[in-house]
Amino acid sequence: MSRGIRIDHVGVTVPDIDAATAFFAAALDAVVLYDVRCRTEEPRGSAEVHRYLGIPSTMAQGAIRMLALPEGPGLELFEYLGPDQRFAAAPSDLGWQHLALYVDDLDAALDKVERAGGLRNSDPRELRGVEAGEGNRFVYTRTPWGSTLELVSYPTPQPYLLTAPRAKWAPWPTPADALPEPVAAPIPG
């Protein structure tokens, strides 16, 4: 088993780093750890920056800020300047397309996201199939700038734990802790 591989942080490009910080603080209890680059610094738009970041030559790297969520990896915010910035990716676009956060209370977390300016795509839905269980639900939302944020909660151990080599992440340390006694897998359909 490989050791030492963990998600350190997730990078999110935002239109306004201060507004995004306020959203993540209000919606997800994020705190600022540090600024890598401040708005007061000259934006970085050299050929070297374009090359190593893989950004268009018309764009420049502005402010960068590292946030921490109450549990889990860091959340690194990026603010780019220039005319060729595109809108946020939709879930159907190629590439990394949403951030999913486990929450203990889905309804309370959704309320906080909405009060902070996020929008739900629909009402929360039950997880199904190998993720099903009493109270196991998710909801897709959008940040104020359009990025997709999923809230998911699964207080009941999920059936995939019966056959998977390990839990993807769960409020239980191991599948054995989640399923001290075997449970029947749901019948597909």
Co-location of 113 and 136 in the same domain: yes
- Which of 13-17, 88-92, 134-138 shows the lowest mean pLDDT across its residues? 88-92
Residue type, 179: L
Residues 41 and 106 in one domain: no
- Tell me, yes or no, whether 181 and 159 share the same domain: yes
pLDDT at 175 exceeding the cut of 80:
no
Instruction: Report the DSSP pairing between strands 99-102 and 119-120.
Output: unpaired
Last-in-domain residue among 31, 55, 86:
86
Residues 67 and 9 in one domain: yes
Domain boundary among 34, 52, 86: 86
Give the CATH number, domain containing residue 129: 3.30.720.110
Residues 29 and 72 in one domain: yes
| Residue numbers of the domain that contains 5 | 1-86
* Residues 95 and 72 both lie in one domain: no
User: What single-letter DSSP state applies at residue 130?
Assistant: G
Indicate whether 71 and 93 sit together in one domain. Answer: no
- Structural domain ending residue among the three candidates 34, 63, 86: 86
Confidence of residue 97 (pLDDT cuts 50, 70, 90): confident
Same domain assignment for residues 48 and 130: no
Of the candidates 146, 147, 172, 145, the residue with the CA atom closest to the CA atom of residue 161:
172
Q: Mean pLDDT across the stretch 15-33?
A: 96
The C-alpha atoms of residue 136 and residue 106 are separated, in whole angstroms, by 9
Question: Rounded mean pLDDT of 38-58?
Answer: 94
Query: What is the count of structural domains for the chain?
Result: 2
pLDDT at residue 42 in the model = 96
Domain match, 97 and 169 both: yes
Question: pLDDT value at position 184?
Answer: 56
| Whether residues 98 and 186 fall in one domain | yes
116-160 tens-digit pLDDT: 999 999 999 999 999 999 999 999 999 999 999 999 999 988 888
Whether residues 80 and 97 fall in one domain: no
User: Do 21 and 73 belong together in one domain?
Assistant: yes
Predicted model pTM: 0.82
- By three-state DSSP, how is residue 63 classified? strand
The dihedral built from the CA positions of residue 51, 56, 62 and 63, taken in this order, carries a sign that is negative
Whether 183 has a pLDDT exceeding 60, the answer reads: no
